[in-house]
Structure 1
Amino acid sequence: MENKNNVTEFILHGLTQDKTVAKVCFSLFLVFYATIIVGNLLIVITIKTSEQLNSPMYFFLSYLSVVDISYSTVTAPKLIYDLLVEKKTISFVGCIAQLFAGHFFGCTEIFLLTVMAYDRCVAICKPLHYTSTVNKHVCGWLVAASWVGGFVHSVVQTLLAIQLPFCGPNEIDHYFCDVHPLLKLACTDTYIIGVSVAANSGVISLSCFVVLVVSYAVILVSLRTRSSEGRLKALYTCTSHITVVVLFFGPCIFIYMRPSTTFSADKMVSVFYTVVTPMLNPLIYTLRNEEVKNAMKKLWSRKV
């Protein structure tokens, strides 16, 4: 990772320059991050220790929680720390590492959500073939493919950023390192690289979103022949996943399905998918799922 320019560090503008607002945000995001860690760890522990939660849906959910913890950890601790300091800096290597990790875990989450939609589609549309179609071996391969897909995507994004020459200025108008803010600082024509970034990130986000929409459209069509009780149960199960998909994919498509231009709303939108959504995931999946809540109660009673 050789830096062929005179920039050794970047200065982040952060989320806000107002000290009063920064103190409020510090307390708020500290609570958010603690909720992310505790909530997702609780889901992982509950699923791994409960004999009831052994279906593929909970297998995927446990890995989604691991990714949520990892993804938020890439940006949240640095964001929280920078809210209290005057000069917000990050080294060139640290910036590239943050970019790589952010895209790695973010893209892995996109693929996992798509896999979970496939799981629900098979479970509802072909219940008799579900156990043979989505078995443990298939689940393992799907999760592995999600991690590999996220890694390949992240490597491409990182290579596009590393080759950029930075001559100055070195101020990033963001609270973390991402490709679009770095493209603005490069002292060369970045049009082709910007198109490549949009094609790589945007196509993945949009194509997975289309797959998700089609999967749930198939589910809705198949529910027409079910009884009202079966229909409500299936819809109740899918609503949590649909909510998470909308909350995560909406901001991602807004940020990455466009050329390397920045808007004033980018920071708040980025906060939503890097901090808020990972915090809401455990709440959405636990508050709307009786099986998970009952398993948590049993785990708590056993530990007490």
Structure 2
Amino acid sequence: MTAAPTSLKMWVRYVHDIFVVMKKEVEFFLNILNGKNKAIQFEMEGEVDGRLPFLDVMVTIVGNCLTTGVYKKGHTHRQATLLDYDNCHLIAQKRSVVKTLWLRAEKVFPTVENIMEEKNHLRKVIKDIGYPRAVVTRWTSRQENNAEGGRFPSTNKITVSYIKGPSEVTFRLLKKHGVSVEHKSMNTLHGILTKVKDKETEGDQVGIVYGIECRDCDAHYVGDTGKKLTTRVLEHRRAVGRKDKSSAIFRHCDDRQHEMDWQNAGVRYKAGGKGARLFLEAWASDHKSINRCVTLNALYEGLRERVEKRTL
């Protein structure tokens, strides 16, 4: 600030907004700042009737002192910028709207009278956008309890996706154990617009348990592979074409003169690990399967029967 023509009484900066108090040669000082870098050019707004807004604070000259208050662009504008109570957001986020406005009033206004006047104004604004009176009353009572040291300290913090209903229950349960829960949206604009890859088709899936039906009977083949479905089906067709006797599909087609339904081969299950695929292969196999697979535990056999009865 050595380039300033006169001594600065005050210099407050927040990102690209600067609040300056100086006696004279303001325009000259502005030209000095704009001459430092052509890519960074400042614009100036001066006081009007001893008042000047800075961010959301209205600075007013009273005698030889500066007082602060909340800068209000208008009742309608303020309603439009606040979170509507009917929106699908966590109730804690809606309560934080009241909390933020209350705390700002207490920090910005210099006297108790100004604070109470602002809070009365906030009650009217909050009521107009659908907030019930209980939300304000609850925050006021909690604020008093916290001042007395009755707040339970949060030692841990987790972030989860917000689902209306279960999220509220989870929030209350974890709060009792000192765990603070923060919520995020499941669907974001970034996530929607950055999906540049085409949707994966069934034939391109890897790490799968697949099934191939016989066209001429009820038999079917169940297998697992870490390759693509189309690649594995092509290998089966080539094994049948070269009459590979180690292929269970070829033996079935050769013994009964049947043909497999290659076009409708599909994915039954998807699993990344080999052990999981072997289990799912055994789960999907039955007395009509022509494939070899591991033996399914008797406990799982009973469970599979119950699942099949429910799906019928």
Q: TM over 0.5, yes or no?
A: no
**Larger relative CO (CA 8 A, sep 6+): 1 or 2?**
1
Structure showing the higher strand proportion among its residues: 2
Q: Which bin holds the TM-score, normalised by the shorter protein?
A: under 0.3
Q: TM-score, normalised by structure 2?
A: 0.20
Q: TM-score, normalised by structure 1?
A: 0.21
Structure showing the higher helix proportion among its residues: 1
Q: Specify the structure having the higher radius of gyration (Cα).
A: 2
